[in-house]
Amino acid sequence: MAMARVAAPVGEGLRLGMLVEISGHPTLGGRLGQLVKHSEADGKVEVCLTTGASLELKKENVRVPIGLKRPGLGGGLNSFDVLIGPCSQDDVIGEEIAACLFEKGFCVLRTCQAPDETASAVTVMRQKGDSGRLFRLPEEVEEGYLGFGAKGKVAWLDASNADAPKNPTLDKSDAFISKLAGLIQPASGDILGKHVDERTPALASLSLPDDEEAEYPPQDADDGTLGDFLRTCRRSLIKVVHFMGPGVSNVTLESTEENGAESLPCKQNSVEIAAEPSTILVFRSGAFRYGCHADGECLSLSANLLQHADNLVWGDWDGLDSAPWLLAGSGPPGPAGEQVNIVNMSTRLMCNWDEVDGYRAGLYGGGDGGVEIPILRWDVNMYYNPDDATRMPGQTYLKHQAFVEGLELFDNKYFEINANDAKVMDPMQRHVLEVGAQCLFKMGITKKTSNRTPHHAGCSAGLDKDGWDKSAAELYNCQGGTNVQAIISNRFSFIFNLKGPNYVADTACSASLAATHLAKYTLADREIDKIEFHVAIGIHQCFLPWGMEGYGPKMHWARCLTFNDSANGYMRGDGCSGVTLKWGDLPEERDAVWRASRVGQNGRSATMTAPNGIAQEEVITKAVKEAKISPIESCIWNCHGTGTSLGDPIEVGGVRRVQIKEQRQTPLLLLTNKTTTGHLEGGAAMTTIIAAALQVKAATATALCHFRRLNPNLEQSSFDMIITSECVASQFNQNNVHISSFGFGGTNGHAILWGCSKYDMADNQTLFLRKLQKMSPPEVRVNGADPSEWEWDGPDVSLKPGDKYTITLSPHDAPDAPIRFVKEEGDPVGDGEDDYYTIVGAFNDWEGDRMEDGLVTGLRTLTLDAPGGGTLDFRFLKNGEEDQVIYPATDKCTSRSAPVLGPVAEDMGREKNVWSVKAEAGQSVKIDLFICRGRRSVMWTIFQNEHFLPSE
């Protein structure tokens, strides 16, 4: 029995920290414990019992145990090798465990732990089981993890898992397993021939009684689970199991005669252990077949200590430069051939979003564009009256809108407009010139270059009202031809010398989408009138205190509270934004593909301004049909989303009716940008088009501002969708993003953009690795109960410097296709016709006998008589050369499926490994070595020697 060394002597052969036996006590005689204290004053000592209790005794009641024997060496079922107590020393524990592992292959530890400590851990596991947060392992791996004959309700002690059991006793046990690994590691190389390098997470298991087995059916085994188990099984050097009780676990260790078990000095074919509570079993996992059966309820915590495994590093990247399909990534594919493309975008919006990146930051940051109406527009206090009872016609209940600052400022000299003309110009014309000029500048076109070089390009503007004519135009005496709405787009083509189609579209709130939709047809004509590009702009300006009583029902509010139960109107906003469209196949130049668009009308509805869900669904369906996609290929959906209690449910209902026709695999991301910008009415759709293009480029839906409590009338629960109250990344690298825009007069528009992520562009190597991460784990083929017989498409556990594997991907592979590692054997183990192989062993004094060629290519064979000792040990030499050794992965290997290694000269001593075949006298052993086309195997057959005579 192990005893701690060092510590002051107590007398009579006793020292602090040693194992002692109580004698002469009326009730505790014969109990074992650790001597932890000694008082010289009164001659009393303190003993910590194996139950965790401390007891003060007279020194004469404590003695050195006599006749105790260890497990497997004559000890009883409940005997142990090492006692772990308060005075135990780490170096002594490590030495004792190492000695046991070397001599007999296992070590039994008993800890001085109080039963109430383990009881708390058992209680936590019971509670986890009652709440359905424990599970049962798949049948293929359950006995491998828990021992043959064992069944358990399990949970991994993983800190990243919220469902992992949380208990101080479990944490303490887990930490002690790590401590044991550290104590064993320095001696592991000498004991096992391999070094312990890491440990697995701990697996907590509560025994599963027969009457509960129906409640815990085994999980289905997938390749990931099987692969993890197989890697653990093949790398495991030592297994540690802490039995916490309260029941007793009956453990069986059966020798496997592998991994050095044959050479154990104190080898036992079978060992029985009664693992009482607070018992820890440490054993060489490859040397024993571990079985466990619990008497009553028993909690255990187990982990494997693993050998070192070299990491694979990426070498050659053949074919990546010619694999454009990697760039396509995941998600719905794009349209084939030439299409209408958005090649640049420009903005001059509220919050000083005078660049698209500013607008992008506002959207993704959840910005709110609403402000109190500035005095430079009008004095809102002259009109403001929040009291419904006293409000008079001409007064307003609102004080907030979204405004563009500095509309009165204009650089007329850049556009070569004289000051007198600039003074009387409609601000909408100024605004369109500024935003359109940004679009042209991004293509290298300035005012000076356009003066010299005309372009056959178009321009359109979407708007629905002009407050300037009704508010200030008369003051400047500028009514008439120069400020009619058509001039808003006409002046832009005039200034920049554009000779293509030019028009203004006014369909109320859907105007800028309708204007862009019509441009699509002008660009698609590539025979008669080839348009170079088209600048589409949406604009709206607030020059009147809109929202006052007298303008009909309340349609406006201080914010757009889209999808909220409190939604009761929209906030107005002004701003101008635009996009440039081009025809062609322009993957490097485009921001997004304008995949499809359609415009329709409500027709006869309840009222002219009432939304019509059926009509909205119809225009969406037509756009989907034009895009040649199925509804479930929609990824992100930008709703019109003004924020009215009637309009929001009707719109979402139309989306639902389109989406429920097929089962979605991922949720649809639903949002609107109006909660950030407000409703720009005629210019609103263009801000949504730009927001959608930004979502395509980032593969991320923007955040919905002001979303608090869902409108109960929305039919969101009847189809798979998410309202994005925060930024939500699409699950794909390429996406279809939808845009809905509905005019209050009944003109409905819908567009679909498609594109790949631009902000997260990576090289082909990174894209290759990302695609690899999304693939399924290597396939595992379970061949029987012995994991050593299983086949796996992953890399070998025993990697050697120079080992190479190939992973091949193809655009035709399924997204979840399993990864397959194919080992490159190369010339050293080739099957050249000039190569021959010899077999060496003690039977021929390691001189080598040449093997005969078999009946098939690559097969070499030789028949040997069994030696007198009954064991035939052998390995091979390529071409008879001593530095070309072919050997098994483990010494004294008895498995026909063990990895065949070599040929090498040296491999850290492993080149001395041999296959070992047991045969009796008078038997012959036929040995086959197969090496062909990168495949290698060793097979043997034992048969009776016909020439053997008993008298011999």
- The β-bridge partners of 9 are 15
- How many domains does the chain contain in total? 5
The span from the CA of 681 to the CA of 563, in Å, is 19
The beta strands (E) that lie in 678-803 are given as 700-701, 721-723, 728-729, 734-742, 747-756, 780-781, 791-792
- Coil/strand/helix, residue 347: strand
The span from the CA of 154 to the CA of 179, in Å, is 23
- Looking at the fold, whether 58 and 93 belong to one and the same domain comes out as no
How would DSSP label each residue in 50-82? Answer: TTS-EEEEEGGGEE---S---TTTT--TT--SE
Q: Which of 828, 755, 682, 644 is nearest to 327 (CA)?
A: 755
Cα separation of the two ends of the chain: 50
The span from the CA of 332 to the CA of 809, in Å, is 19
- Looking at the fold, whether 833 and 819 belong to one and the same domain comes out as no
Is pTM beyond 0.75? Reply is no
Amino acid at 586: L
- Looking at the fold, whether 564 and 596 belong to one and the same domain comes out as yes
Going from the C-alpha of 939 to that of each of 37, 129, 625, 703, 860, the distances in angstroms are: 62, 47, 62, 64, 11
Q: Kindly report the number of other CB atoms within 10 A of residue 66's CB atom.
A: 7
- Looking at the fold, whether 832 and 710 belong to one and the same domain comes out as no
The span from the CA of 789 to the CA of 611, in Å, is 67
DSSP H or E stretch at residue 237? strand 236-255
Preceding peptide of 246 cis, ω within 30°: yes
With respect to residue 374, please indicate whether it lies within any of the assigned structural domains: yes
Sign of the C-alpha dihedral computed for residues 805, 810, 812 and 814 taken in this order:
positive
Amino acid at 370: G
With respect to residue 761, please indicate whether it lies within any of the assigned structural domains: no
The span from the CA of 914 to the CA of 240, in Å, is 29
- Looking at the fold, whether 714 and 671 belong to one and the same domain comes out as yes
- Unique residue bearing structure tokens 């010139």: 433
Long-range contacts, 935-940 (Cβ 8 Å, 24+): 935/858, 936/825, 936/829, 936/900, 937/896, 937/897, 937/900, 938/888, 938/896, 938/900, 939/896, 940/896, 940/915
Last-in-domain residue among 307, 329, 360: 307
- Looking at the fold, whether 14 and 89 belong to one and the same domain comes out as no
> How big, in percent rounded to 5, are the helix, strand and coil portions of the chain?
25, 30, 45
Q: Kindly report the number of other CB atoms within 10 A of residue 500's CB atom.
A: 21
At residue 649, the pLDDT reads 86
With respect to residue 763, please indicate whether it lies within any of the assigned structural domains: no
The CATH code of the domain that includes 32 is 2.30.30.30
- Profile the chain (952 residues) by mean pLDDT over runs of 10 residues: 47 77 80 83 82 81 84 89 87 90 92 85 91 90 92 88 86 93 89 88 92 90 91 92 92 82 82 92 92 91 89 71 64 90 96 94 91 86 86 82 89 92 88 96 94 95 79 56 81 95 93 95 93 96 64 65 82 93 93 95 77 86 95 93 82 88 88 90 94 94 87 74 89 91 90 87 69 86 85 82 80 82 64 80 91 87 85 93 92 88 86 91 89 80 65 34
User: What's the full length of the chain, in residues?
Assistant: 952
With respect to residue 319, please indicate whether it lies within any of the assigned structural domains: no
Going from the C-alpha of 830 to that of each of 40, 826, 880, the distances in angstroms are: 77, 6, 15
With respect to residue 3, please indicate whether it lies within any of the assigned structural domains: no
- The DSSP 8-state label assigned to residue 703 in this structure reads P
Q: How far is CA 910 from the centre of its chain?
A: 38
With respect to residue 323, please indicate whether it lies within any of the assigned structural domains: no
The CATH code of the domain that includes 482 is 3.40.47.10
- Looking at the fold, whether 289 and 239 belong to one and the same domain comes out as yes
- Coil/strand/helix, residue 587: coil
Last-in-domain residue among 307, 329, 347: 307
> Which residue range(s) make up the domain with 880?
828-944
The span from the CA of 928 to the CA of 834, in Å, is 18
- The β-bridge partners of 840 are 875
Amino acid at 65: P
Specify whether the backbone of 480 is left (phi greater than 0), alpha (psi in -120 to 50) or beta.
left
- Unique residue bearing structure tokens 């389109």: 658
Amino acid at 859: L
How would DSSP label each residue in 889-924? Answer: SSTTB--TTSPEEEEES-STTGGG--EEEE--TTEE
- The DSSP 8-state label assigned to residue 212 in this structure reads G
Q: Which of 869, 909, 894, 896 is nearest to 287 (CA)?
A: 894
- Looking at the fold, whether 612 and 662 belong to one and the same domain comes out as yes
- The DSSP 8-state label assigned to residue 131 in this structure reads T
With respect to residue 908, please indicate whether it lies within any of the assigned structural domains: yes
- Looking at the fold, whether 261 and 217 belong to one and the same domain comes out as yes
With respect to residue 938, please indicate whether it lies within any of the assigned structural domains: yes
Residue 773, judged by CB atoms within 10 A of its CB (0-12, 13-18, 19+), counts as: exposed
Q: Which of 939, 903, 931, 938 is nearest to 831 (CA)?
A: 931
- Looking at the fold, whether 885 and 871 belong to one and the same domain comes out as yes
Residues 6+ positions from 505 with CB-CB distance below 8 Å: 460, 461, 462, 463, 511, 512, 514, 515, 518
The answer to whether 742 and 651 have CB atoms below 8 angstroms apart is yes
- The β-bridge partners of 207 are 152
- Looking at the fold, whether 481 and 621 belong to one and the same domain comes out as yes
Going from the C-alpha of 567 to that of each of 533, 555, 558, 639, 709, the distances in angstroms are: 40, 11, 10, 15, 10
- Looking at the fold, whether 119 and 260 belong to one and the same domain comes out as yes
The span from the CA of 866 to the CA of 511, in Å, is 94
The CATH code of the domain that includes 97 is 2.60.120.620
The span from the CA of 889 to the CA of 261, in Å, is 15
